[in-house]
Amino acid sequence: MPRSNTILIIEEDATVQFMMRKIARALDINVETATSCSEGLFRLRERPSQFAMIIVNLRLCAAGHDDTVQSIRADQHPEVRGIPIIGVTEEDSVAEVLISQTQGVDERLHKPVTPAELLSLVDRYFTAPLVARG
């Protein structure tokens, strides 16, 4: 089943959610938001083919040693574990670089994500076939 053009954004900051929705709307991309990592995982597992990409606040998932990205990458269903994950951070600290490398994200961006960055992600991940990463 082909994926839709919907991005799942896991972000607790309402301002960031609002801006991402505005950018996505301008690019004709659908966005669903989750305000916690557990909510994001629930939505993803409920409808995995609904999402073409996940954008996740790495600091949110790092709080309390959350294992959201590892859970996605280890999921038993290829359609879940194969979804591209983009980690966003607020700082360029060594700790955040290590978090993104160990969590298995496909790419890492700094907040705020610009329209050009989102368009570039769409070009890379929506047009090419999405294959499971093992």
Type of residue numbered 116: A
Classify strands 107-110 and 30-34 as parallel, antiparallel or unpaired: unpaired
Residue 104: its pLDDT value, please?
81
Residue 106, class by beta-carbon neighbours within 10 Å (0-12 exposed, 13-18 middle, 19+ buried)?
middle
69 CB contacts (<8 Å, ≥6 apart)?
A: 56, 61, 85, 87, 103, 104, 105
Question: Alpha carbon of 23 to those of 19, 58, 95, 123: distances in Å?
Answer: 6, 20, 29, 15
pLDDT in tens, 4-56: 778 999 998 888 888 888 888 888 888 999 999 889 999 998 988 889 899 99
Please give the structure tokens belonging to residue 110. Answer: 């700094």
| pLDDT tens digits, 54-75 | 999 888 776 544 678 888 888 8
13 class by beta-carbon count within 10 Å (0-12 exposed, 13-18 middle, 19+ buried): middle
pTM: 0.81
| Residue 85 confidence (pLDDT) | 92
Token pair belonging to 89? 């951070």
